[in-house]
Structure 1
Amino acid sequence: MNSVNVTELRQHLPDYLKQVQQGEEIAITLHGKTIARIVPDRNESKREAALKRLEALRGTVIVGDIIAPSDEEWTGDADNL
């Protein structure tokens, strides 16, 4: 967790907010004592959670039509006959 005094925070607020947005916590100090913390919002919407789950599945599934008939003969069990 980064620590920053009030004056520094005021001068560079957009930079510190970007750090918080990326998941970092920032302690705000006044005369060397921590008076507050800025923490990222961990409450994500249902939509964002669903998008993250879908993104995690990307590349791990096979897309295809399993219902439509195929002209190919099934040979998956040919070695067991």
Structure 2
Amino acid sequence: MKIAAGEFKTKRLKLMGNVQKYHKDTIITKDGKPTAQLTAVEEEIPKPLFGFLKNSVVITEDIVKLIGDKWSRLP
């Protein structure tokens, strides 16, 4: 769809709603020449935080085994 800049100025909210709803681009013209394009943006669904590190950590040894070093208390 093509629309003149002046007409776009008066109908922009309705046009933006239509572009979002129907996913049809609108080309805005000035003096009959294409100047801008209004395009729908796909809404991103955020990934859940729970489990985002799954399979990213590798355990190579027993993680609860004592390391054998004795620690001394500070005075």
TM-score by length of 2: 0.55
Give the CA RMSD over aligned residues. 1.5
Structure 2: gaps spanning 5 or more residues:
48-75
* Residues matched between the structures, number: 46
Partner of 1:34: 34
Q: What 5-or-longer segments of structure 1 have no aligned partner?
A: 48-81
SS, match of residue 35 in structure 1: strand
The equivalent residue for 2:67 is: none
Q: Which residue of 2 aligns with 1:25?
A: 25
Q: How does 1:46-61 map to 2 (within 5 A)?
A: 46=46
TM-score in terms of structure 1 length: 0.51
Larger radius of gyration: 2
Distance 1:25 1:46 in 2: 25
Alpha-carbon distance in 2 for matches of 1:37, 1:26: 6
Q: Secondary structure at the match of 1:12?
A: helix
SS at match of 2:37: strand
Cα displacement string for residues 16-67 of structure 1 (whole angstroms, at most 9, x for unaligned residues): 01111111110000000001101001352246xxxxxxxxxxxxxxxxxxxx
Larger helix proportion of the pair: 1
- 4+ residue runs of structure 1 moved beyond 3 angstroms? none
Identity of aligned residues (%): 20
2:11 counterpart residue number:
12
